[in-house]
Structure 1
Amino acid sequence: MDLFIEISLIIVLAAFIAGLAHLLKQPLIIGYILTGLLVGPKVLNLLRASDVIHIFSQIGIALLLFIVGLGLRPKNIRRLGNVAVITGVGQVLFTSLIGFAIVRLFGFNATTSLYIAIALTFSSTIIILKLLSDKRHLGTLYGQISIGFLLVQDIIATLILIFVSSFSEGQRFMEVALLLLLKGVLLGSVLYFCTRYVLPPLSFFFARKQEFLFLFSIAWGLGLASLFHLLGFSIEIGALVAGVALSTTPYHLNISFKMRPVRDFFVILFFILLGSELVFESLLDMLLPAFILSVFVLIGNPLIVMTLLGLLGYSKRTGFMAGLTVAQISEFSLILMALGSDLGHISQDAVALVTVVGLVTIAGSTYLILYAEKIYPYLAPYLSLFEKKHRKAEQHVAQYDMFLFGYNRVGYDFVQVFRDLKKKFLVVDFDPEAVQRLSHSNIPVKYGDVGDSEFLAELDLEHAILVVSTIPDFETNAFLVQRIRSVNSRAIVIVISHNISCAQQLYDFGASYVMMPHFLGAQYAAMMIERYGFDVQRFHKERTEHRSYLRQRQVLGHEHPVAESLR
């Protein structure tokens, strides 16, 4: 069959099945994987040029991680580095130990049990990034933490694959690992120099034309990913590093917007290829162990992550949301099992078992992540075990006149105004780092999750005069407004939205005012024209004051947040 016709038929079939999935309100990823099963060798056998599709899928993976890197500014990596390493390594360790014990109970030998146990530890970075991107949760606290420990998992997986591969190539693992470490240090030094001195003028040159900037971005991302691959690293790590390097430029958001449609097309081919390569041999004999191991991955892995994050001081909601991102196995798992089979370490039955677990957990975790916000309220009362105990509440709850929910770039301005009003106010945030910074600045702050009704009940919202929420999530703001209005009809409630229809709904729920940042800027500029007319001096004064304000925000490391609706 002609290659063009083959790819066209696959895309048409994918569009049809994805359309059915959308009508049935099912995750699109499931539709793509089912398309792969249909076009694979076991059903229609349409996918003959798997090598070409594989290359396309690699481009999609590289672009996906490149865009993620564009949002991972170096300061964010430093901020969440410790929790990512502790959670990533801890989850791999505990899942391996528990998984090994479970697999041994089914009569597998020690070598096979070790392979399967390790395969159960790795979660699919690609699938999770796609789901979080679709939900627009990549920038949330749990999203950033999840990206961090998933990348730690990928590094561990790469080292394990190198170790296993060394058996077939007759190489020593330590020699290969030390050589990679040396290459990594040299490459990191060169990239630091480029990021500091080469990229700024280069990106400025290409940014003069949008087409040039787009072409330069693809060249930089894929070129660096290829360089990493040639030096023995994974394409994924190279693409991510390329994105992080460009995240320091002023154009990273524009680049990210332009790359997303291209990314989505190629990533779809990745999921189709994944579905076509799933193998189900000896399925009947594997049903019971596949069921038990799938339950372990879907429930056990999240519990491990929730425990670790709870010990690190994060809320039960953050732990729950982040925990769901490890409720499936990865493409690394399937690669590891295939490699073990080629080396004669394990049988095809073990490969089939992990394949079934992969399909079940990928499907199951997709539903769990997409509907996490609806599931959490039902489980919240039972999740306090995974959260550090708060100190006992005092008999008299401190009363505050004003509340600020969410201290981010927008919240900074409100804190300054609250101080000037000389009223008692409280800032609420669920990021331990933000809470620590505010505490050091002697700003009244409380660690908590606005989406937790029990936490809101602890606050004296009945006597609040003013409540401001800078949290961009519509469901959280809707819940907060309705909660306040149920106990306080007089308070001024100001929330934020990046969507007109959502803003109208928030007004219906009782919001006093809904901030829409993109409209507010234009509205203020129009007011200045109306007020100042053609007075150049007054505009010059506004310009001077605004530049001074922007410099102050820049010193604090703030940057204008991106409207979620534009993503």
Structure 2
Amino acid sequence: MTTELFTEFGLVIIIAALVALLMRVLRQPLIIGHIITGLIVGPLALNIIHNSEIFTLFSEIGIAFLLFTVGLNLNPHVLKEYGKVALVTGVGQVLLSTLIGLIALLLLGISLIPALYISIALAFSSTIIILKLVLDKGDIEKLYTKIAIGFLLVQDVIAIILLFSIPVIASGTDSVIKIAALFLRAIALTIGVFLFAKFILGKMHKYVERSSEFLFLVANAWGLGIAVLFKEFGFSLETGALIAGISLASIPSRQEINARLTPLRDFFIVLFFVVLGSNMMVGDMKSVIVPAIIISLVVLIGKPLILMSIMGFMGYRRRTSMQTGFAVAQISEFSLILIALGVSLGHINQKELSLVTLTGLITVFISTYLILYSERLHKHLNPYLKIFERKKLVEKKNIKKEYDFILFGGNRIGFDFIQMFRRKNGKFVVIDHDPEIIEQLKKEKINYEFGDASDVDFLSSLNLKNAELIVSTIPDFDINMLIVAEGKPKKKVGPTIMTVAHSITNALKLYDAGVAYVILPHFLGGKHASEIAKKFIQAAKNTQEIRHDHIKYLERRKVHGQEHPVIERYR
């Protein structure tokens, strides 16, 4: 038995590694490779897995670790910064996608209860896949990414509610009082976990973090222990693991815990997706291909259209709306976890599980390309997306305005330029496509233009060639090249142009195009910090003065609702 299990396990891991290598070559998310591995080792092909109970146990551990680390990474700062659009798009998209998906599934002949499960599952998008792709693409600080992260956090909250609700409803309790009692028990249990984490683990924290191994062991014990506790009280393991992670999200060592748990989590989550793939039967595959294609189209087309409509109504530009919509055009790990929960409760059969799994494969595969090539797609689709933009917010193309100083981007880097321009006598304007920043500029009575710098017609309306200084804090290389092309006259001396870049290669290309100075934030920050250190060495009295000035500067930034960018890692 032990030898047979070891052989099965070894073969599965070897095949998973080979398929993962193929996915890397094809630039596809590894989740697709893991499900394909399941198809290969399952009854569809090699039929290697015979000890399915052991693999199922490992997959449940993977789910627990995944949700525990998702809880650890919940970042309330993103919700604070983009709370309104995150809440409206998050809730609105889930409700509308669920409704459209439910109608489509019922028309396909799927019964009501499974259709409800599947339609809800289709509404969720993959945090891990989205963040991995935007990190690889270098778009983590772009507006659409920030909105998508806030949107996904709202989905996480909805997920928590669902994980609580489904086992309660499935318990068969028909008394309203008994159902209310179950929810109260869940709330009391959650509060108890948070209080224990704050007052007991909080006091133990300094002692625990002295040893990395001890911290790792305690974190594992906490995550799995709370998952088991919730299971014993009649709730799901998934709920307990997620709550356990959230309860530790504010402790100082959460990043170290997350970093140490990630390899363990990734190993077990591989087995979860392998088991999902292996559960797909030959007969099921033949019968679900057409429905899976139809449902995939609902996800790939319906979700972006819903998001673009909501964001357009809220005043966002069509470029931002389209990129956000493309980012979430897939189903998530939670979708598969939700369906697996439905299977365990007897609400979903294997055929319906295969339908969702195949839909996941299709949507993740296609959405990868939608995210990676969203800029190119925008160039082709832009003329057809005007319907997703509020007419009263579209620029007046025929009105030519002239400014001495033009600033693209009024947030973090732009803040200091705005203060400098205010001290000058020249006329200046700030260009931004974020409605939140535009509202802030309105309050401060600063000249602004709400527009998209990738729109050539909009750029031409600004008369860039007649400006004295143009500053672009936009991190997008192609947009900066467009600004340079529009701002530099061919024959006469034009404006001085400054831009931002995030690679030396792009900085040198911008210099070749005629940019006067390229800002590389990390290099510039290091140079500035070294100058401050030089002052400290020259005279100790400089320390308190510089420290005091910087604190006041940070407080001014905070009043404006700004925060230094932090890259949260969802691996």
Both proteins in one fold, TM over 0.5: yes
Residue 464 (1) aligns with residue 462 (2): no
Determine the structure 1 residue equivalent to 2:59: 54
Say which SS state the counterpart of residue 410 (structure 1) adopts. helix
* Distance verdict in 2 for CA 1:294–1:549, change over 3 Å: closer
Determine the structure 1 residue equivalent to 2:488: 488
Deviation of the 1:408 alpha carbon: 3.0
Say which SS state the counterpart of residue 468 (structure 1) adopts. strand
Contact 1:166/1:173 (<8 A) preserved: no
Measure, in 1, the Cα distance between the counterparts of 2:259 and 2:354: 40
Say which SS state the counterpart of residue 396 (structure 2) adopts. coil
Determine the structure 2 residue equivalent to 1:407: 410
Contact 1:84/1:148 (<8 A) preserved: yes
* Distance verdict in 2 for CA 1:253–1:185, change over 3 Å: same
Deviation of the 1:184 alpha carbon: 6.2
Deviation of the 1:528 alpha carbon: 5.3
Say which SS state the counterpart of residue 82 (structure 2) adopts. helix
Determine the structure 2 residue equivalent to 1:379: 381
Residue 435 (1) aligns with residue 438 (2): yes
Determine the structure 1 residue equivalent to 2:73: 68
Determine the structure 2 residue equivalent to 1:504: 508
Residue 388 (1) aligns with residue 370 (2): no
* Distance verdict in 2 for CA 1:261–1:419, change over 3 Å: farther
Measure, in 1, the Cα distance between the counterparts of 2:410 and 2:257: 27
Measure, in 2, the Cα distance between the counterparts of 1:231 and 1:429: 51
* Distance verdict in 2 for CA 1:234–1:416, change over 3 Å: farther
* Distance verdict in 2 for CA 1:191–1:532, change over 3 Å: same
Measure, in 2, the Cα distance between the counterparts of 1:306 and 1:231: 42
Deviation of the 1:88 alpha carbon: 3.1
Contact 2:277/2:357 (<8 A) preserved: no
* Distance verdict in 2 for CA 1:372–1:221, change over 3 Å: farther
Measure, in 2, the Cα distance between the counterparts of 1:338 and 1:210: 34
* Distance verdict in 2 for CA 1:170–1:114, change over 3 Å: closer
Q: Which whole-Å deviations, capped at 9, do the CAs of 1:181-235 have from their partners, x for residues lacking one? A: 5356556767887899888887677777877877777777777777666666766
How many percent of aligned residue pairs carry the same amino acid?
Answer: 42
Q: Which whole-Å deviations, capped at 9, do the CAs of 1:430-471 have from their partners, x for residues lacking one? A: 332222122212222333333444543443322233233334
Q: 5 Å matches for 1:248-259?
A: none
Measure, in 1, the Cα distance between the counterparts of 2:238 and 2:268: 14
* Distance verdict in 2 for CA 1:36–1:544, change over 3 Å: same
* Distance verdict in 2 for CA 1:233–1:534, change over 3 Å: farther
Determine the structure 1 residue equivalent to 2:449: 446
Measure, in 2, the Cα distance between the counterparts of 1:138 and 1:229: 37
Residue identity opposite 1:65 in structure 2: V
Measure, in 1, the Cα distance between the counterparts of 2:197 and 2:514: 48
In the superposition, the TM-score normalised over structure 2's length comes to 0.80
Measure, in 2, the Cα distance between the counterparts of 1:137 and 1:237: 31
* Distance verdict in 2 for CA 1:233–1:415, change over 3 Å: farther
Residue identity opposite 1:42 in structure 2: L
Q: 5 Å matches for 1:274-313?
A: 274-313=276-315
Residue identity opposite 1:50 in structure 2: F
* Distance verdict in 2 for CA 1:34–1:212, change over 3 Å: same
Q: 5 Å matches for 1:3-402?
A: 7=9, 9-47=11-49, 48=51, 49-58=54-63, 60-62=65-67, 64-66=69-71, 68-69=73-74, 72=75, 74-108=76-110, 113-114=115-116, 116-135=118-137, 137=139, 140-153=142-155, 155-156=157-158, 165-166=167-168, 169-172=171-174, 178-179=180-181, 181-182=183-184, 186=188, 267-334=269-336, 349-389=351-391, 390-391=393-394, 393=396, 395-402=398-405
Deviation of the 1:536 alpha carbon: 3.2
Say which SS state the counterpart of residue 497 (structure 2) adopts. strand
Say which SS state the counterpart of residue 538 (structure 2) adopts. coil
Measure, in 2, the Cα distance between the counterparts of 1:204 and 1:136: 36
In the superposition, the TM-score normalised over structure 1's length comes to 0.80
Deviation of the 1:557 alpha carbon: 5.2
Residue 535 (1) aligns with residue 519 (2): no
Contact 1:68/1:240 (<8 A) preserved: no
Deviation of the 1:160 alpha carbon: 5.5
Residue identity opposite 2:417 in structure 1: F
Q: Which whole-Å deviations, capped at 9, do the CAs of 1:355-410 have from their partners, x for residues lacking one? A: 43333223222332233233222212211111211256164332222233333333
Measure, in 2, the Cα distance between the counterparts of 1:443 and 1:250: 39
Residue identity opposite 2:526 in structure 1: A
Gaps of 5+ in 1: none
Deviates more, 1:176-185 or 1:411-420: 176-185
* Distance verdict in 2 for CA 1:526–1:33, change over 3 Å: same
Deviation of the 1:299 alpha carbon: 0.9
Measure, in 2, the Cα distance between the counterparts of 1:529 and 1:340: 60
* Distance verdict in 2 for CA 1:348–1:481, change over 3 Å: closer
Q: Which whole-Å deviations, capped at 9, do the CAs of 1:313-363 have from their partners, x for residues lacking one? A: 222222222223443334555565566667776765444434433332232
Residue identity opposite 2:90 in structure 1: G
Contact 1:62/1:222 (<8 A) preserved: no
Q: Which whole-Å deviations, capped at 9, do the CAs of 1:110-154 have from their partners, x for residues lacking one? A: 556555544433444454454445445555433343344445445
* Distance verdict in 2 for CA 1:260–1:165, change over 3 Å: closer
Measure, in 1, the Cα distance between the counterparts of 2:435 and 2:254: 27
Deviation of the 1:284 alpha carbon: 3.2
Residue identity opposite 1:84 in structure 2: A
Q: Which whole-Å deviations, capped at 9, do the CAs of 1:72-93 have from their partners, x for residues lacking one? A: 2x34324434433433333333
Contact 1:56/1:266 (<8 A) preserved: yes
Say which SS state the counterpart of residue 78 (structure 2) adopts. helix
Measure, in 1, the Cα distance between the counterparts of 2:178 and 2:5: 39
Contact 1:180/1:233 (<8 A) preserved: no
Residue identity opposite 2:320 in structure 1: T
Measure, in 2, the Cα distance between the counterparts of 1:167 and 1:247: 29
Deviation of the 1:7 alpha carbon: 4.9
Determine the structure 1 residue equivalent to 2:520: 516
Gaps of 5+ in 2: none
Contact 1:469/1:495 (<8 A) preserved: yes
Say which SS state the counterpart of residue 281 (structure 1) adopts. helix
Tell me how large the CA RMSD over aligned residues is. Answer: 4.3
Measure, in 1, the Cα distance between the counterparts of 2:193 and 2:167: 28
Contact 1:481/1:511 (<8 A) preserved: no
Q: Which whole-Å deviations, capped at 9, do the CAs of 1:259-293 have from their partners, x for residues lacking one? A: 66666555555544443344453433443333222
Contact 2:79/2:86 (<8 A) preserved: no
